[in-house]
A = this chain, B = another copy of it.
Amino acid sequence: LSEGRFVSVRKFLHEMPPSDVAHILESSPTKTRDDLWELLDSDFHGDVIEELSEDVRNGIIAKMIPANVVDALEDMDTDDLAETLSSLPDEVLQDILQSMDAQDRHRAEQAMSYGEETAGFIMNTDTITLRPDVSVDVVLRYLRLKGELPENTDTFYVVNRTDNLEGIVPVSRLLTADPEATVSDVMDEEPEAIPVNMPDDEVASMFERYNWLSAPVVDDKHRLVGRITIDDVVDIIREDAEHSMMSMAGLDDEEDTFAPVMQSTKRRSVWLGVNLLTALMAAAVSDLFEATLSQLAVLAILNTIVPSMGGVAGNQTLTLVIRGMALGHVNPSNSRWLIYKELAIGGLNGVIWAVLIASVIAVWKQDLTLGLIIAFAMLMNMIAAALSGATLPIIMKKLRIDPALAGSVILTTITDVVGIFAFLGTATLFLI
């Protein structure tokens, strides 16, 4: 596409909505991405930057002159501004803040003043507030004078003289209300409000559970400070759900599919290094049985089956419990029940696969004792897998370690070690 036909590509980009341009940038290798960005008129930069994912955005901003970044950020909503700025590396952020005039800098610092991953961080401050004692008619006339409402306004907030939230009025209610009524007649009293420092994943699950489209945000004195709309929450829901999947493979959730080779290699090597350690640990366990292995090569051949089955069964339990915790279904009152249930499944699975593997080995290797030994190891490892798959995430959560990140590698280490010990240990006792 971009073989010299710059003018037409440029025209094409400018006719698209910014989110589509962002999508094209994210689907392009780094070099093409930079070329496309150059073609884009700087008026569009801000709108496109808002829509980019963290990794891609930082890559692009790092290559821009700070003054241009400041221009691009000028018209952003507070929540988008906070997100964009706070994900930047420190030195870039300082450069940009210094290029801003005092008013913009104040706004930027205000937006970043709430901790990342809190309600305050994702909220917008463009609320429309009403006083309880005015009439609907007056409100309607005021709105008509004001013209367009802020994007995604579906609710007006009713506050008293000290900005305390007293009620909410859905936009549609004003349309159907009697013009003579006062705001306090038509408002919903005691609305649910989100504290400004609530973690954003809790905000997301409240939105999901109650099917909200927007919600007011209040500070610790119940004063209205902003609103959160569902389009920002959707991003958090998507990120949260992806986080577990990406972490379980040892990837960063924001990893850009088209990141440069060196950067990707560096990021992924941590996980490979951890895995090498666990693989060496498993090898060290096998090493304890070197004498046994050198007498019976068949044990070496079958040595991987039991650990592999344990790893798969344990990961199933682990994934299920991690998801249950993310959805808020697993809590201290039912976790004991859950562990028993997974143990029962592990035991049942253990019996089924033990019988099956014993039959296969008895036929394949014409050796019933060997079949019984591998069956015993299978049963032990399935139970160990269920126990660690169910308890690890619960323990790790208490220790404030992310179970999605480290759970899988610890689990595999346990099932490898138990599997090899059970198999080679029993074989040493009975066959040598």
Contacts and interface: CB of A to CB of B under 8 A. Distances in A.
Interface of A: 17, 19-20, 23, 26-29, 51, 140, 143-144, 146-149, 152-154, 171-172, 174-178, 207-211, 213, 230-231, 233-235, 237-238, 241-242, 244-246, 248-251, 255, 257-258, 261-262, 264-265, 268-269, 271-272, 275-276, 278-280, 282-283, 286-287, 290-291, 293-294, 297-305, 307-309, 312-313, 315-316, 318-321, 323-324, 327-331, 334, 337-338, 341, 344-345, 348-349, 352-353, 356-357, 360, 416
A329 B26 contact: yes
Contact of A300 (B303, B323, B324, B360): B303
Given A23-B328, A245-B245, A312-B272, A290 B280 contact: no
Contact of A323 (B245, B299, B360): B245
Given A154-B154, A245-B241, A297-B293, A349 B210 contact: no
A43 B327 CA distance: 27
Contacts of A275: 308-309, 312
B213 A230 contact: yes
Given A250-B312, A305-B283, A209 B276 contact: no
24 contacts: A20-B209, A29-B334, A140-B175, A144-B175, A147-B176, A154-B172, A171-B175, A211-B231, A230-B231, A230-B234, A234-B234, A249-B315, A249-B318, A249-B319, A258-B338, A258-B341, A261-B344, A262-B348, A276-B309, A276-B356, A279-B305, A280-B360, A283-B302, A283-B305
Contacts of A248: 245, 248
Contact of A264 (B242, B250, B345): B345
Q: How many copies does the complex hold?
A: 2
Contact of A237 (B171, B174, B238): B238
